[in-house]
Amino acid sequence: MVARRVRLSFPAGLRDIVRECSITIRSGSTVYDTIEVFRKDGFMRIRPVFHLMPARHVSRKVALASMINLHNADGVGRTGAIRGMVAKISAGREIVMGDGFPNIKAVRDSAGDYVVFDGHHALLAYMSAGRKHLHEVPHALVEGERGYVTLKDIRAFFGEHGNRIKRDWKSYKINWRAPKAKQLCKAKDMNMGQLMSSMRTLLYHGGE
């Protein structure tokens, strides 16, 4: 069993104010497993009373543009879906899954960098809608016992290609849209800011 803490955060309607809760999960071998256990158990118990959680002011701000992404622009696709999300955000709605769980899920590595491992489309949509910092968007942050996750945890984000990656994992991205032999590729868009710049033409001038 691996112990990880899942920290759930939602904007509370006022500038730099959030509602948060966290639960330690001792189950599952990967970060994905931890999220699924939390969603099926902890989140179902928390959801009805989450709005009663005390709100707090955010002192440490994490820029969305600084977060490490797992995909280059050619591995994202579905720009039409992103534009649809932007419309929802502009209408005052948040981007969450069917059960209300955040689309955006992230971890922090040993260097202190925040890594988005799920929810790239939603994060791009929020950035397009003008959100600047992580606390301004609903998200789940998975933390290891020391606050950060291990290199083994991060390799799992690359699926079966993870065993080809050493400590230089930030030099690679994964493209699940590509043929298997080309799914692991060199990083071009190193963070979400660069990914947003690469996606800008597609987002604002049409695309798939």
- pLDDT score at 205: 59
Give the H or E element holding residue 79: helix 79-90
With H, G, I as helix, E, B as strand and everything else as coil, classify residue 38: helix
Q: Express each pLDDT in 24-68 by its tens digit.
A: 998 778 999 999 999 988 898 999 999 889 999 999 999 999 999
Starting from the edge strand earliest in sequence, which strands make up the sheet with 104-108, in order? 55-57, 17-26, 3-11, 139-143, 104-108, 114-118
Kindly tell me if the per-residue pLDDT of 13 is higher than 90: no
- pLDDT score at 206: 55
- CB-based contacts of 169, cutoff 8 Å, min separation 6: 151, 154, 155, 158
Task: Report the phi/psi class of residue 39: left, alpha or beta, with left for phi > 0 and alpha for psi in -120 to 50.
Answer: alpha
β-pairing verdict for 17-26 and 172-174: unpaired
> Is pTM, for the whole model, over 0.75?
yes
How is residue 127 written in tokens?
Answer: 């950035």
Distance of alpha carbon 24 from alpha carbon 5, whole angstroms: 4
- CB-based contacts of 60, cutoff 8 Å, min separation 6: none
Kindly tell me if the per-residue pLDDT of 79 is higher than 80: yes
